[in-house]
Amino acid sequence: MSNRSKYLPGQNLVPFPAGPSSTPRTRATERSRPVLVVLHQETSSPGRVGNALRALGYRLDIRRPRFGDRLPDTLDGHAGAVIFGGPMSANDGEDYVRAEIDWIEIPLREQRPFLGICLGAQMLSKQLGGRVAPHSDGVVQIGYYPIRPTEAGLSLCPDWPAQVYHWHREGFELPCGAELLAEGDDFPVQAIRYDNCFGLQFHPDVTCAMMHRWTTRGCDRMDAPGAHPREQHFDGRAMYDTAERAWLAHFIEGWLARVPAAVLAQAAE
């Protein structure tokens, strides 16, 4: 049964602010809270997303539920939460996968900033009643591929990159009540918003070091239909990474500014 009926998403799509959106005192209070980071492998890194968060003054509370770390019962002690990608599927039956999907109910209910990247976005879709599945023709996205921001996506955050980095074999559908922010070709849903929760099918988190590691350890994935050869990954990075990095910095700052009014009022007291 879909969980979407539990939540009451906001009706208006408020653009991300171009500059600071709260008073210095409120911002200082917000940034005193760490951002919860959920990773799925022992060697996983928050990559460029982590760098962007640290540059804004946030600490990272890194947890790996796959290896026994517990997730919090509320996000009152955090500025937001990010669930990153991994080689597993949101359809897997492991306890930690199901537990993470169930846990996303907390930022949805509390209307706190949540970001799902690749696997994390697919988990968000499943929590909202959406379906996660491979492409019907077995096509994957591994490398740089075009995305097209929708009118809603451009209203929220302009200057989207023309192509972004992907590494996935499954996609997710747009859940009922969610807003499509960017679309693609073989996998139509590339970015979504549901209230203060966002899902990105692509990987703006990947640093150059991560790309070297992924394309070395995952070289067998490049034989799949639709995957790009290793050298094309680095050619794409040379062409598209500057725009993707600039977009990410704007996105992260605007995403964390989406805090419920009651929380901002409490922080300002």
* DSSP string for residues in 101-145: HHHTHHHHHHT--EEEETHHHHHHHHHTT--EEE-TT---EEEEE
Give the mean pLDDT of the chain.
90
Average pLDDT of each block of 10 consecutive residues along the chain (269 residues)? 50 58 51 94 94 97 97 97 96 96 98 97 98 96 98 93 97 96 97 97 97 94 95 97 96 86 52
Distance CA 90, CA 211 (A): 23
β-sheet bridge partners, residue 148: 183
Q: Residue 120, exposed/middle/buried by CB under 10 A (0-12, 13-18, 19+)? A: buried
pLDDT at site 32: 84
Distances (CA, A) of 94 to 88, 123, 208: 10, 13, 31
CB-based contact 167:202 (threshold 8 Å): no
CB-based contact 33:60 (threshold 8 Å): no
Distance CA 227, CA 12 (A): 37
pTM: predicted TM-score of the whole model, two decimal places: 0.90
